[in-house]
């Protein structure tokens, strides 16, 4: 199923359909917008027909200078079976030749009162959001001191219970159980909750609870950028866990590497506090303060001073 169709743009931006109604369900496959200036001049060698075509004051005023034959021919070439739609901005008058060509080829011809540049910006932002690569991860996403923390781990390890404790401590829940993730930029992952389970937490023994109803609107968020992953696992006596924090592990989601910490779970460990501190420490590292490196440097200095004294 296509993520975006022409009809979605018409409804989202309150656009007026002039002709080509049969093509309103055409899929839009790219967020790139085309302003066919060279095409108006007659150069169709690299015409990006699969893009939304935007005709503004520049294109339409140039079109008026063309002979009737050239104008008709070039406007007909704009309308292909790949073109999702042609949008005329600034509420300008639509050339009758374009109306006829769009109707004949079933290309939705749309009119907007917005300025060309402003509409182009809005369209690009909307399409990039809708067409971004997506995936779903089993886990809990919480906003802790402005850091989006994705808590992962095997079923029953205590992810939801930890999230509940974090919410009680004043942090905000984004999603529980299933986190839908989209890559909005080359290194930006944004997590949201599926609509069906938004604001809900599943606590074994209690069942489903509504976090917004219990703790208020300030306890939830609709979306959050994912900056840190904390993987909870049952404590393994044979496994060697990082005790200094010098090594930084990464986890790849879609095309983005995200910092991941592995936190062992055992009775008596307050996971909510540990994750809270991990988020604060992550913020400090981004600000250039790395406690593990500072300790390592001090330790190296002490060892070096000891060597000098022995000599």
- 218 labeled binding residue: no
Cβ-based neighbour number of residue 1 at 10 Å: 4
Residue 122 annotated among the catalytic residues of the structure: no
- 170 labeled binding residue: no
Residue 223 annotated among the catalytic residues of the structure: no
In angstroms, the CA 120 to CA 52 distance is 10
- 158 labeled binding residue: yes
Choose the catalytic residue: 177, 223, 225, 285: 177
Distances (CA, A) of 25 to 55, 82, 122: 21, 12, 20
Choose the catalytic residue: 243, 252, 266, 308: 243
* CA R_g for the chain: 28
- 202 labeled binding residue: yes
Long-range contacts of 217-223 (CB under 8 A, 24+ apart): 218/172, 219/167, 219/172, 219/173, 220/172, 220/173, 220/174, 221/143, 221/172, 221/173, 221/174, 222/174, 222/192, 222/193, 222/198, 223/174, 223/190, 223/191, 223/192
In angstroms, the CA 175 to CA 201 distance is 8
Give the H or E element holding residue 231. strand 228-234
- 153 labeled binding residue: yes
Q: In the chain, what's the furthest Cα-to-Cα distance?
A: 96
- 239 labeled binding residue: no
Residue 177 annotated among the catalytic residues of the structure: yes
- 16 labeled binding residue: no
Choose the catalytic residue: 3, 118, 138, 168: 138
38's tokens: 């060279």
Choose the catalytic residue: 159, 172, 182, 221: 159
Strand partners, 88: 55, 111
- 156 labeled binding residue: yes
- 57 labeled binding residue: no
Residue 159 annotated among the catalytic residues of the structure: yes
Which residues does the annotation place in the binding site for Mg(2+)? 160, 202
Q: What residue numbers does the annotated binding site for ATP cover? A: 153-160
Catalytic positions, written as ranges: 138, 159, 177, 243
Return binding residues: 153-160, 202
């Amino acid at each position: 199923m296509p993520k975006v169709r022409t009809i979605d743009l018409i409804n989202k931006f309150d656009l007026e359909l002039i002709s080509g109604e049969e093509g309103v369900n055409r899929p839009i496959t790219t967020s790139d917008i085309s302003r066919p200036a060279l095409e108006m001049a007659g150069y169709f060698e690299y015409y990006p027909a699969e893009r939304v075509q935007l005709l503004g004051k520049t294109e339409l005023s140039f079109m008026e200078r063309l002979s009737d034959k050239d104008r008709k021919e070039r406007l007909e070439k704009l309308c292909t079976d790949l073109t999702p739609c042609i949008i005329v901005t600034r509420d300008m008058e639509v050339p009758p030749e374009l109306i006829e060509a769009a109707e004949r080829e079933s290309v939705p011809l749309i009119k907007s009162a917005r300025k060309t540049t402003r509409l182009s910006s809005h369209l690009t932002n909307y399409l990039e959001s809708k067409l971004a690569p997506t995936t779903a991860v089993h886990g809990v996403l919480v906003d802790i001191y402005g850091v989006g923390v994705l808590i992962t781990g095997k079923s029953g390890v205590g992810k939801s219970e930890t999230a509940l404790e974090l919410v009680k401590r004043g942090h905000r829940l984004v999603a529980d159980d299933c986190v839908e993730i989209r890559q909005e930029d080359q290194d930006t992952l944004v997590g949201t909750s599926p609509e069906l389970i938004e604001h809900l937490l599943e606590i074994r023994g209690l069942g489903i609870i509504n976090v917004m109803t219990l703790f208020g609107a300030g306890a939830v968020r609709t979306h959050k950028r994912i900056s840190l992953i904390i993987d909870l696992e049952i404590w393994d006596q044979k496994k060697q866990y990082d005790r200094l924090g010098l090594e930084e592990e990464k986890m790849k989601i879609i095309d983005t590497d995200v910092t991941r910490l592995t936190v062992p779970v055992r009775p008596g460990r307050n996971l909510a506090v540990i994750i809270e501190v991990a988020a604060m420490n992550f913020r400090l590292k981004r600000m250039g303060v790395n406690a593990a490196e500072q300790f390592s440097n001090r330790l190296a200095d002490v060892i070096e001073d000891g060597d000098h004294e022995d000599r």
